[in-house]
Structure 1
Amino acid sequence: MASSTLDMFMGLKSINPNFVDAWGNPAKVSEENIRNIIGKMGFDAADDSALITHFNEKEKQHWLSPLPPVSVLQKNETYQFEVRLPIDSAADPLIYKITLEDKSEIEQTICATVFPLVATKEISDLEFQCYQVEIAADLPIGYHSLAIYEKDIAEALATMSLIITPSRCYSPEAITQGEKIWGTSVQLYCLKSEANWGIGDFSDLKTLLAKTKENGGDFIGLNPIHALSPSQPDNSSPYSPSSRKWLNILYTDITAVDEFARNKTLQARINSEQFKQELIALRAPEWVDYEGVTALKLTALRELFATLNEGSVKSKKRQAAFNQYVKEKGESLTQQASYDALQFHFLALDANSWGWPVWPEAFQSFQSEASQTWIKENLQEVLFWCYTQWVAELQLQEADKLAKSLGMTLGIYRDLAVGVGISSSEIWANHALYCEHISVGAPPDVLGPLGQSWGLPPIAPEQLQEAAYQPFIELLQSNMSHCGALRIDHVMALLRLWWVPDNASAEKGAYVYYPVEDMLNLLALESVRNECLVIGEDLGTVPDGIDVLLKDAGVYSYKVFFFEQADDGGYISPAHYADQAMATLATHDMPTIKGFWHCEDLHLGRELGLYPKQDVYEGLLRDRLVCKQQILNSLHGHGSLPADYPRDAAFVGMDQTLNFALQVHLAKSTSALLSLQLEDFLEMDKPVNVPGTSNEYRNWQRKLSQNIEPLFENQQIKTLLSDITLARKI
């Protein structure tokens, strides 16, 4: 293949073969790997003429379309966008009609030729010209449309989505005025309580919000609470969801659903001795029993749905509210509900029917005739799954209202995963958006020399733009509801993603770039509209300039203490942390404080086969001792430990004094936000997740070591939280 053809095609598909590796060295993806990626995108990369034909067809479509599908522009006095017209009519005046979100209209008659000529192109023996047209108008932020018309012709010549955005994401006034707040981060399923059914739920979240506020905190940071697959409860990773727009229904507190108060039979069963014993068996273990929890909750939810449909006066009122919810949420909810219903249907027929890729071909998309017929014939079953989403969302909404009533600045802060799994409802319903034979991941780096592939098919940038970014907009709208902040996992995805073909190892991928300025502008628009602060998880390899782009867009950075080291290996002073940031000691992919100090992550990794070479394992232990010594030096240097506390890391174990001192030390940081883990309040050592493992470790299952009710009654923890609150005011 001629390199010029390959370069041309890579430009069309936003593939960049060049990157800087984790060691700071320039690197380039081989032509063979690029061809493989293009092949998995659905093109014959070995056929030079076929690629040229596709390129020319796309270019022809581009020039024959007077307007792009979408223009995303920051609010200003004037707005520029490209208009492409045949040369023989380019000088003709055209009517430009902007229809605002509120349906009001603005019209201007404009001749394109008075504006700068950007480019010309001959297509099918016709010459086209592209002009940079400018319109002066007072447009509000929001989603509008722009159409151009020829005089006296009713049908539009072209239409595009015109999205006007603020320049920055939302920040609460208290934070912009310099207030520094703190909160706790938790995997919601980890919560133990005297009332839940063996898994944390939205009622536990309400308790946690109230107790945190009572002790000086301002928010609860949650793991992604995206919809998983109820039919396969052991597939429990919140970062490989079925849908990022819908909720994990296992977080519903059954006893807090309205229908429960009217279902005397269910109440009697739950109060029976047998059921109480079942709950004890689910609550007691150290690990979440997802199968047991799912079986109990789904049975109860079906009984509650039957109560909704019983026909009483009260149930009719509730049913009207439910029907309105289904209508408002539209096809997206129907897609999710239908997928869950079909999953159970096919699993009943074949225990190996793990997802749509192995269903009968006729059912492998939402839009197929077979799927649509089944949905109509099984409407009540589909409505049941709509109901499970409704009651879950109502409870999340109640938790958010509680946080606001308590005066919490952020309250709930949610987490947006970077993608969905291959067997997800989102891909089943939107095949055209996704590159299904590719997974996103990460190139080789110091911690992962083989790179990473996460099993999450990407959305193609070209498809995203052709859809006027609607999938991304809907994703933001869903995840910014019922919360005060949103953390975006792997925020670099707004700029680029490492694409790995499904027939290749992770190091044989390449970066595919996204329209980052448009994405950030859309993020700002939804952030302001939802009054939702945005935190970008910007760890790992960060390309030059993206940190400035994110900061200018009002996105808060994510600063992990253990990674914040100076060139000499020492840990930076809390006074030197970025203001526009969230500081934290660890993440869900890292060991707890105690686990880090005692090298439990390295010992566990050795047991699980992550460090098969003894010399590598021993080298990591030596490096950890150096880090621990630097931490001790830093804490002593800042007076964060008692003067008589031991100073040699080789002889210091993790105790409560050191654990709590680390947390208070970081609380003194200048970052506007501080997030600490409940696990570290409890001095736990087991991680919730071990990156690089699947079945080797029970990821996403480990619970907290004690119930949340007594946690906040522990005087030592109460003193810690008081010290943290005081340190945040310094």
Structure 2
Amino acid sequence: MTPVAPSPALVELAHAHGVATEFVDWKGTHTVIADGALRSVLAALGVPTDSEESVTAALAEVEDRPWRRTLPATVVCREGWTPWVRAHVPHGAAVSLTLELEDGSVREVPQVERWVHPRTIDGREVGEATFELPGDVPTGWHRLVAHLDGPAVADGTGVATLVVTPERLELPEVLRHGGVTGLMTQIYQVRSAGSWGLGDLGDLGELASWAASDLGADFVLINPLHAAEPVAPMEPSPYLPTTRRFVNPVYLRIEDIPELVRLDEAARERVAELAAGVQALNTADTIDRDAAWAAKREALGLVHAVGLEGRRARDFDRFCEREGEGLATFATWCALAERHGLPWSQWPSEYHDPESPAVAEFTAAHTALVGFHMWLQWLLDRQLGEVQREAKDAGMSLGVVHDLAVGVHPRGADSWGLAHALARGVTVGAPPDQFNQLGQNWSQPPWHPERLAELGYAPFRDMVRTVLRDSGGIRVDHIIGLFRLWWIPEGLTPADGTYVTYDHEALIGILCLEAQRAGAVVIGEDLGVVPANAREYLSERGVLGTSIMWFETTDEGPIPPEDYRELCLSSVTTHDLPPTAGFLTLEHVDIRERLGLLTRPVEEERAQEEQSIATMREALVARGWLEEGAGLPSVIEAMHRWLGHTPSAMLAVSLADVVGDRRAINQPGTDDEYPNWRIPLAGPDERPVSLEEVLESELAPVLFEATRGD
């Protein structure tokens, strides 16, 4: 059936709410978004479109909405800017505006001499007064307060959040004087003899210390550590967390918890039994998160039971106070999940609303269990801080660089605790492209752009702060999602979605503000289809881009290393591709053929990829970095040498390349068809490689020297 084209009024309404009505796909084809898809996306935004009359009324509401509030919910601007703020009051009423800075001081905001005709809203006249913010407001989180001599146009709308962001995020000192080289890995893959079935924060500390002292690495970039489900089955993808604000306790190193020594003999023996049971999985070919968490959950329960004393108890109290309601809500969700299972939509209905009396009663009746999950987050905070200190003490200039996933699980903690900030009836994904020709559905509910602004961007701020704490930087997966996201209505395919725009000035500004306060670098993963001028905008704000050598090509061949971007993190490969040895042997083609993900004959796909590899080899030979007919190790070394001659501020070597791994950790666009995120680090023979073996790697110094251009 031919899709129905949208009416002009529907197109206008879509544009008014930042919904794209057309786009150009990866093949250059102009595509018009179908009527049904537009109506579904607008419905997810809370815009009624069930008839042409409702579309007309919704268009009128776009014009009237600002006049229904005294002040806008949030104002975001850069330092030095002097934006106008419009206040709406009953026509003829007097209004003044004060600025409450986060340091507690208060300033008057001058009014601008500007006449605006009143507007009739719901049968009454509403006037507009204009104020100009001074240009010397410091960066930070402030408040604007309206003072009226009579009733407001709407209760609760007389206070606005004011966020003043830096004009540009200044690079850390080390990046201002030449580039840095580091390691990147999926830490759960890196198992040591002391791991409980998967790599943990103890392993991360050891890896970072070795990389700094033996390889001269300045950072280690890891996968998102966001929290997953507290009960089985645990979602294996670190990019589909239950929340992005808190951390997965499966990464805790049990032996590093000080209270462990206070266990009685029976409890200590039980912890030792649990450890031995899952340490037997350290050589397994598949990572079993459920088994690892079951053992750690029991051990942690035993340690928690001994309690905290002295300064540790006081530190925990301070942590809970700092994290506030968000921590309590998440811990309550975890406790409810342990008692009632998942998904939360199948809980008794009285528990569906986190603010309901029933949830409050549950919390009061289960204070120990809720407190346990708060305690886990405190332990993670302490251990993450220690890992960062160890990395810096070992010589890393940046230390650990964390990864921020695009979104959250549709039935996770945030879909319960932050339901008011998320859109319903849609998921996030990506349209078809060269590497995922059917498109991708990431099964994640997107931020609702208007509600996020109404909340003063607090959920976004709190999430970013947590990830940035005790880190040298943050990599933002699919940073273009702060400009626009591909929304897919429920029941439709990824090819049937459309783009919805976000206030990138606000979101990226807040990201830069929080990174500046943390002294961290921000790296945006800006691969794939990118809106016009997005990369230029990110560079202007001091946000690094991302370059993957396989993608840096033109019709003439690989882009010369000298032409790479300077403000960029560059690497040979990424977690969405096989390790370099696998790519060179067409592992990615074989996977997609087996899974039926190709949209053209495999012979054609294979021939094109073989030509790309041949072209890469030729370019390496022409530079004198590779001999004709050289084997895989030489090609991989030469590709890293190519990176070493780029001007990029940050260069990353994949740990999978260090050990000669060939298997892809992830095949985008699949779920159970492929063991995504469950494959341990392995050598060329697919035998799992331990952290102890990594530390003895002979290839690691070779690749690091090549990447530095030595």
TM-score, with structure 2 as normaliser: 0.93
The equivalent residue for 1:658 is 635
The equivalent residue for 1:351 is none
The equivalent residue for 1:623 is 608
1:413-466: CA deviation from partner (whole Å, max 9, x where unpaired): 011111001111011012221122110111222333332211001111111111
Code of the aligned partner of 2:158: A
- The answer to whether the aligner puts 1:646 opposite 2:628 as a matched pair is yes
1:409 aligned counterpart, secondary structure: coil
The equivalent residue for 1:415 is 403
CA shift for structure 1 position 32: 2.4
Contact 1:527 1:534 in 2 (8 A): yes
CA shift for structure 1 position 66: 3.0
Distance 1:535 1:266 in 2: 48
Distance 2:133 2:333 in 1: 45
Unaligned runs of 5+ in 1: 310-314, 348-353
CA shift for structure 1 position 268: 4.0
Relative to structure 1, the CA distance from residue 157 to residue 327 in structure 2 (aligned partners, 3 Å threshold; closer, same or farther) is: closer
The equivalent residue for 1:342 is 336
1:484-527: CA deviation from partner (whole Å, max 9, x where unpaired): 11011111111111111112111111111111112222122111
Distance 1:75 1:547 in 2: 22
The equivalent residue for 1:265 is 265
CA shift for structure 1 position 130: 4.3
CA shift for structure 1 position 56: 4.4
Code of the aligned partner of 1:247: V
1:247 aligned counterpart, secondary structure: coil
1:240 aligned counterpart, secondary structure: coil
Task: Report which stretch shifted further, 596-605 or 155-164.
Answer: 155-164
Q: Following superposition of structure 1 onto structure 2, how do residues 400-411 of structure 1 map, counting pairs within 5 Å? A: 400-411=388-399
1:701-729: CA deviation from partner (whole Å, max 9, x where unpaired): 111122223323333433433443454xx
Code of the aligned partner of 2:515: S
Distance 2:147 2:317 in 1: 40
Relative to structure 1, the CA distance from residue 262 to residue 29 in structure 2 (aligned partners, 3 Å threshold; closer, same or farther) is: same
1:76 aligned counterpart, secondary structure: coil
Code of the aligned partner of 2:507: M
Contact 1:172 1:409 in 2 (8 A): no
Code of the aligned partner of 2:368: Q
Distance 2:555 2:297 in 1: 54
Distance 1:714 1:456 in 2: 38
- The answer to whether the aligner puts 1:692 opposite 2:669 as a matched pair is yes
Relative to structure 1, the CA distance from residue 108 to residue 673 in structure 2 (aligned partners, 3 Å threshold; closer, same or farther) is: closer
The equivalent residue for 1:461 is 449
Relative to structure 1, the CA distance from residue 455 to residue 118 in structure 2 (aligned partners, 3 Å threshold; closer, same or farther) is: farther
Choose the corresponding residue for 1:140, options 129, 138, 141.
Answer: 138
The equivalent residue for 2:106 is 105
- The answer to whether the aligner puts 1:70 opposite 2:74 as a matched pair is yes
- The answer to whether the aligner puts 1:532 opposite 2:520 as a matched pair is yes
The equivalent residue for 2:170 is 170
2:624 aligned counterpart, secondary structure: coil
Contact 1:95 1:151 in 2 (8 A): no
Relative to structure 1, the CA distance from residue 725 to residue 450 in structure 2 (aligned partners, 3 Å threshold; closer, same or farther) is: closer
- The answer to whether the aligner puts 1:554 opposite 2:536 as a matched pair is no
Contact 2:549 2:570 in 1 (8 A): yes
- The answer to whether the aligner puts 1:205 opposite 2:204 as a matched pair is yes
CA shift for structure 1 position 533: 0.7
Identity of aligned residues (%): 29
Contact 2:183 2:220 in 1 (8 A): yes
Give the paired residue count. 697
Distance 1:511 1:231 in 2: 34
- The answer to whether the aligner puts 1:713 opposite 2:701 as a matched pair is no
- The answer to whether the aligner puts 1:149 opposite 2:147 as a matched pair is yes
Contact 1:440 1:453 in 2 (8 A): yes
Distance 2:579 2:145 in 1: 56
Q: Following superposition of structure 1 onto structure 2, how do residues 362-381 of structure 1 map, counting pairs within 5 Å? A: 362-381=350-369
- The answer to whether the aligner puts 1:588 opposite 2:566 as a matched pair is no
The equivalent residue for 1:575 is 562
Distance 1:164 1:636 in 2: 51
1:197-227: CA deviation from partner (whole Å, max 9, x where unpaired): 1211111111111111111111000101000
Code of the aligned partner of 2:144: L
The equivalent residue for 1:451 is 439
Code of the aligned partner of 2:485: L
Q: Following superposition of structure 1 onto structure 2, how do residues 272-671 of structure 1 map, counting pairs within 5 Å? A: 277-308=276-307, 315-347=309-341, 354-568=342-556, 570-611=557-598, 616-641=601-626, 645-647=627-629, 653-654=631-632, 656-671=633-648
2:554 aligned counterpart, secondary structure: coil
Contact 1:260 1:267 in 2 (8 A): no
Relative to structure 1, the CA distance from residue 618 to residue 157 in structure 2 (aligned partners, 3 Å threshold; closer, same or farther) is: closer
Distance 1:203 1:219 in 2: 16
The equivalent residue for 2:97 is 96
CA shift for structure 1 position 61: 4.2
The equivalent residue for 1:232 is 232
Code of the aligned partner of 1:75: E
Code of the aligned partner of 2:134: A
Contact 2:97 2:131 in 1 (8 A): no
Code of the aligned partner of 1:623: Q
Q: Following superposition of structure 1 onto structure 2, how do residues 8-87 of structure 1 map, counting pairs within 5 Å? A: 8-42=12-46, 44-54=48-58, 56=60, 59-76=63-80, 78-87=82-91
Relative to structure 1, the CA distance from residue 567 to residue 680 in structure 2 (aligned partners, 3 Å threshold; closer, same or farther) is: same
Contact 1:233 1:294 in 2 (8 A): no
1:335-387: CA deviation from partner (whole Å, max 9, x where unpaired): 1111111112113xxxxxx3112222221221222222111111111111111
CA RMSD of aligned residues (A): 2.5
2:84 aligned counterpart, secondary structure: strand
Relative to structure 1, the CA distance from residue 271 to residue 514 in structure 2 (aligned partners, 3 Å threshold; closer, same or farther) is: closer
Contact 1:149 1:157 in 2 (8 A): no
Relative to structure 1, the CA distance from residue 266 to residue 298 in structure 2 (aligned partners, 3 Å threshold; closer, same or farther) is: farther
